[in-house]
Structure 1
Amino acid sequence: MPEQRNIVILGGSVSGLQSAHYILKHLLPSLNAKHEAQYHVFLINPSPDYYFRIAAPRTAVSTSRLPAEKIFFDIEEAFKKYPSNNFTFLQGAATGLDTTARTITYKRSEYLGDEQLSYHALIVATGSRTFEPAFSQPTDKLTTLNAIKSLNTKLSTAKDVVVVGGGPTGVEVAAEIGELLNGKPGWFSTPEKKANITLITAANHLLHTLSPSRGKEAEIKLKRLGVDVLYNTRVADTTATKDGRTVVTLGKGEKLEVDVYVAAHGVLPNSSFIPSPLLDANGYVKTNPQTLRVDEAGARVYAIGDVASYSRNTILDVYDSFPVAMVNLKRDLFSYNPANPNKKPSGKDRHFTPNKKEMMIVPVGSAGGVGALFGWRAPNWLVWLAKSRDFMVGIGPGPVISGDKVKKEVAWTKEEAVA
């Protein structure tokens, strides 16, 4: 029997799904033909479903605005086209990593013990989680659906709402709540304000990765939806009352009592299973910012997407870094020599360079929004066309889950190629 070399991918995120499809389509056939060993791809994820979290701000506010079933996708169904001797999906959560033994520990159920899987190559793509559980899926589908249902129910009758976070999620969520509770503005009219909605940010303008003028444009659109913005303000504490409301204590001591408090500020990396020496001070996997290898974890270990230290937690970084990771992974796999397993491949690695131009599209309700593409202001109609009308459900998740996003192999250059 030939040796089996496992390529293990952790996480059913955009990065994880694209990596699995890409390796199965473009690398595995050549690897199995080139080497005597048999290569096998394992994808490990806590849920059997891919959650299209880009659309979460609309669904989490109201499933009548965007049904939940439109943003969940069956992972196993998408990978049925690959032979079982090439691919295995394991529904489970990673619980440990041993870089010396080169094994991943995972747990498929709370009723089962830990299991181990050896890896020849490893891709950590476990992503990040939000403070509000309805905006991400760190565990299983049912948990996320329950969080969506809970937030939907609370918001449906709310009269006083606080949303914390001046980034894209905060702006999008506040706008969705405003349109749900106060109504949609007309061309020359603004609906009567029926609910008090406050968006709180610690920054001095919204959407800090865009120019202040884009942030001001977002504020104007939010005001038409009945959303007030409070700048340069931090939340010090929140306390639940006996009647189900929340007391929000601000940094200067002021208190607000509201029906619903929505935490839409930042994310946390899903990295609790990673040994602490491999994590930076904020809990992200220490990743070589050029090659995307996790150098301290040994040969053929990569981190892609939100969980990695190079990432700015944007989908743009995922798409821009993906070709780099796949070319370097191919170089590592194709040059592997069992007699010297840790030897680096000859030739030139591909390097990742982050795109620092203004690149973001932010819906502010269903009629449009703000943003920039390649540093140029995105007009309202373009924001509506690209994202605001359906949060990209019609064009975003399909190619990712099916593998069509990675139909073509990334060509390596003459300097990057290995024999």
Structure 2
Amino acid sequence: MVNHVVVIGGSYCGLGITHRLLKNRSRIPDLKVTLISKNSHLYWNIASIRAIIPGVVKFDELLQPIEPGLAQYGPGNAEFVVGSATGVDATAKTVKVATAEGDRDVPYDYLVIATGAGCSDESMPWKADGTYEEILDSIKKMGEKVKAAKHITIVGGGSTGCELSAELRYEFKDKTVVLLSGTPELISGDAAAKAIEKELVKLGVEIRKSVRAESTTVLPDGRTEVKLGNGETLITDLYLGTTGLTPNSSFLPKDFLQPNKFIDVDEHFRVRTAENVWALGDVVSRPNAAYLHTDPQSAGVAKNIEAAIAKRPQQIVKSMPFSAIVCATGRDRGAGRLGIVPVPSFMAWALKGRTLSIERAASYINGSHW
């Protein structure tokens, strides 16, 4: 009897689960894994903040096809379905998928939901939420806007906003880059906030804290009028929002979800209201939405699926043993911390800023990362 695992979501967590299970199929009897992904490619969205600068990032490195990496396991062991999950029937144990060829129902014995989250502003390309064509088109169009703009306003003083403002000022010394943070300190007052702010100031980013964008209006000349919470009005050539995440969970049964629409899981990352269903990554955002959590979570969930097949007890899924933040501030510097230990600029550059880890994408595709 086939043990059919269906994974929804072809980004970091989904690929981590898929490859981990398939690489260990010798100890999992009669295993088949089906990966369902809206995007035919892995989008290394960590590099999105650099990819919108024309000519800096190669698109064939940023977006790499998923299917060739699964072909190594054979058609009877792995299947790749390009399409959008539109529904889950937990009683019948099926996933409804809209594909280019039409709708189909994919049956499962074990289900993993790793659909991530999208940007609150859907026009922004920071998250892996869309098809290959949609994401590539979004990045190219954003690059054209960035190149043409003289004044750029970035809303959101979190990691994405800080890194984006740094990338833009690093590349374009002749552009005015304004970073608006709704909180009194960047990165919500994290211990690394002062060091990150210092790097941004060196680059010439204009930082305004405790200021929120209340509304925006596109003017007849194409510029954007931004009304701020303090009553001021700001006119900018290009408005880039980096705040807010919307979990990609609208296709799921309501009893899978918390009131905020993120999936409700237990300490084993099992969905509380369903049998043999797990969820992880940004669609759960536990303890928060961050790339650093994806690997330990996918490792833990893969072990729990294997345990469920073998009828062994579930194990608690652990995340990073300490909190960390590493912020790239351009292509030759950075700042951050590992636990309570500050990260020197050269180390932040080596860990992240140098390439934004885009060289790892190939290992996610072929499974050698695991």
1:322, CA displacement in angstroms?
2.4
Give me the TM-score of the superposition, normalised by structure 1: 0.84
Are the equivalent residues in 2 in contact too, given 1:158–1:195 (CA < 8 A)?
yes
Instruction: Report whether the alignment pairs 1:105 with 2:110.
Output: no
Match of 1:185 in 2: none
| Superposition map of 1:321-360 within 5 A | 321-335=297-311, 345=312, 347=313, 349-355=314-320, 357-360=322-325
User: Which of the two has higher C-alpha Rg?
Assistant: 1
Any residues of structure 2 matched to 1:31-50 within 5 Å, and which? 31-32=28-29, 38-50=30-42
- In the alignment, the residues of structure 1 paired with residue 94 and residue 169 of structure 2 have an alpha-carbon distance, to the nearest angstrom, of 48
TM superposition shift of 1:10? 0.2
Question: Offset of 1:405 from its aligned partner?
Answer: 2.0
Q: How does 1:100-139 map to 2 (within 5 A)?
A: 100-109=91-100, 112-130=101-119, 131=121, 132-139=123-130
User: What pairs up with 1:182-331 in 2 under 5 angstroms?
Assistant: 182=173, 194-208=174-188, 210-211=190-191, 214-288=192-266, 290-297=267-274, 299-331=275-307
Which amino acid in 1 is paired with 2:327? V
The TM-score, its normalising length taken from structure 2, stands at 0.95
The more displaced of 159-168 and 88-97 is 159-168
- Residue 375 (structure 1) aligned with residue 340 (structure 2): yes
- 1:398 Cα deviation after fit: 2.6
How far apart are the structure 2 equivalents of 1:398 and 1:149? 22
> How far did 1:137 drift?
2.8
The reply to whether residue 58 of structure 1 matches residue 50 of structure 2 is yes
Equivalents in 1 of 2:43, 2:189: separation in Å? 25
Q: Does 1:393 align with 2:325?
A: no
The answer for unaligned runs of 5 or more in structure 1 is: 33-37, 183-193, 336-344, 407-419
Distance (whole Å) between structure 1 residues aligned to residue 88 and residue 20 of structure 2: 24
Instruction: Give the unaligned 5+ runs of structure 2.
Output: none
How many percent of aligned residue pairs carry the same amino acid?
A: 28
CA contact (8 A) 1:136 1:144 kept: no
Separation in 2 of the partners of 1:140 and 1:133? 14
Distance of 2:6 and 2:319 partners within structure 1: 26
Q: Could you say what the CA RMSD is over the residues aligned between the two structures, in angstroms?
A: 1.7
Mapped pair 1:152 → 2:150 = no
For 2:36 and 2:287, locate their aligned partners in 1 and report how far apart those are by CA, in whole Å.
21
Shift of 1:261: 0.3
Query: 1:330 Cα deviation (Å)?
Result: 1.2
User: 2 CA distance for matches of 1:209 and 1:42?
Assistant: 42
Q: Structure 1 residues 104, 166: CA separation in 2 closer, same or farther (over 3 Å shift)?
A: same
* Count of residue pairs the alignment pairs up: 368
Report deviation, 1:266.
Answer: 3.0
Paired residue for 1:12? Answer: 10
Residue of structure 1 equivalent to 2:84: 93
